[in-house]
């Protein structure tokens, strides 16, 4: 598990396709580690129902996100603002939208 550095610059290209590819890569390495390498990752995949991740795995993902995107992406706060049902139904695509939104907001400031 790599330790987060808080100084990683945001990617130059902030588009959904790039961010999806990056997040899918993080999820792929986590799933491979759990021996779930046959699970497909798509924008509509839900973390818990489809990718079979537990809530503690989302904490690991939060660490990966911070290592990649720095402080402007705060996954813990994003999830804490959701209702329980929304957390259970959270999809990869919804997270991608959130990350892109944060990065664009960061660019504008």
Tokens in use for 12?
Answer: 């130059």
Site residues (vs other proteins, CB under 8 A): 1, 3-4, 48-49, 52, 54-56, 58-60, 62-63, 66, 71, 74, 76-77, 79-81, 84, 87-88
Rounded CA separation 56/18 (Å): 25
Question: Given the complex with other proteins, which of 20 and 75 has the nearer CB atom?
Answer: 75
- CB-based contact 64:26 (threshold 8 Å): yes
- Angle at which helix 16-33 crosses helix 92-108, to 10 degrees, equals 130
Query: What is the nearest approach in angstroms of other proteins to the Cβ of residue 49?
Result: 5
Question: Given the complex with other proteins, which of 17 and 91 has the nearer CB atom?
Answer: 91
């Amino acid at each position: 598990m790599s330790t987060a550095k808080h100084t990683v610059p945001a990617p130059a290209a902030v588009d959904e396709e790039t961010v999806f590819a990056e997040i899918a890569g993080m999820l792929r390495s986590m799933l491979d580690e759990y021996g779930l390498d046959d699970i497909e990752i798509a924008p509509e995949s839900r973390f818990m129902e489809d990718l079979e991740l537990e809530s503690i795995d989302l904490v690991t993902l939060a660490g990966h996100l911070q290592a990649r995107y720095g402080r402007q992406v705060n996954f813990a706060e994003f999830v804490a603002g959701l209702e329980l049902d929304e957390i259970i139904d959270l999809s990869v695509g919804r997270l991608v939208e959130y990350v892109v939104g944060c990065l664009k907001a960061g660019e504008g400031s």
